[in-house]
Chain A
Amino acid sequence: DSGVTQTPKHLITATGQRVTLRCSPRSGDLSVYWYQQSLDQGLQFLIQYYNGEERAKGNILERFSAQQFPDLHSELNLSSLELGDSALYFCASSTQGFTGELFFGEGSRLTVL
């Protein structure tokens, strides 16, 4: 158990819909990262938050947005969903003095039909 909690574990929805994925980082971790893993793809970095502030952005589509709340949990919002958005979405957190070690949640598997 990494200490990072993601909900829901599985989500099935239709094209054009909007979903929200939720992440609670490890106790004490201020940084939250979102990654997408599609079929035959590695982990694609989407976005990072640190103590409520956006710190780094990766290959995140304009239809996607995220935020980190004062209690440090984070939400990833995916809208106007397309078939190609079907993927595993991982949240991870890290401590300060980060050198690359991330603690990942179990992921949220999104299926868009």
Chain B
Amino acid sequence: DQQVKQNSPSLSVQEGRISILNCDYTNSMFDYFLWYKKYPAEGPTFLISISSIKDKNEDGRFTVFLNKSAKHLSLHIVPSQPGDSAVYFCAASARVRSGGSNYKLTFGKGTLLTVNP
């Protein structure tokens, strides 16, 4: 049962244009949504997050939009740069049980973004 889905395995855009990466989820108990970026031979690194009580969060060139009714989130990168070429993972967290750090993070399969110069 895949609770976090990234239906596009890859995306190619031109430098300077907008990149839009999409993610769908099924579990309404998720309370935070995150995007991670992964370069080859490195571990994933946190990029941006959004709480389930918000619908938009912006950080520089990166904006995440959340549509709770559609159980959909997206990451917009404007303008896209060649250095943004990486695999982007959508993730969602839910509390496993109360107290302490008891959150479980569920990842999608990732989308390979290629930004062409």
Where the two chains meet, the residues of A that have a C-beta atom closer than 8 Å to any C-beta of B are: 2, 4, 30-31, 33, 35, 40-45, 48, 50-51, 55-56, 58, 90, 92, 94-107
Contacts and interface: CB of A to CB of B under 8 A. Distances in A.
7 contacts: A30-B101, A43-B44, A55-B102, A95-B101, A102-B44, A102-B105, A107-B43
Interface residues of B, number: 30
Given A33-B105, A90-B44, 4 more contacts: A48-B96, A92-B43, A99-B93, A106-B42
B46 A102 contact: yes
Nearest to A49: B101
A50 B101 contact: yes
B104 A41 contact: no
Contact of B43 (A31, A41, A90, A98): A90
Nearest to B33: A100
Given A41-B109, A90-B44, A105-B43, A96 B100 contact: yes
Interface of B: 4, 6, 32-34, 41-46, 49, 51, 89, 91-93, 96-97, 100-110
Contact of B45 (A33, A55, A100, A104): A104
Nearest to A93: B101
A105 B101 CA distance: 19
A42 B111 CA distance: 10
A42 B105 contact: no
Interface hub of B43, B49, B106 (most chain A Cβ within 10 A): B43
A96 B101 contact: yes
B104 A101 contact: no
B49 A43 contact: no
Given A30-B101, A41-B109, A56-B102, A100 B43 contact: no
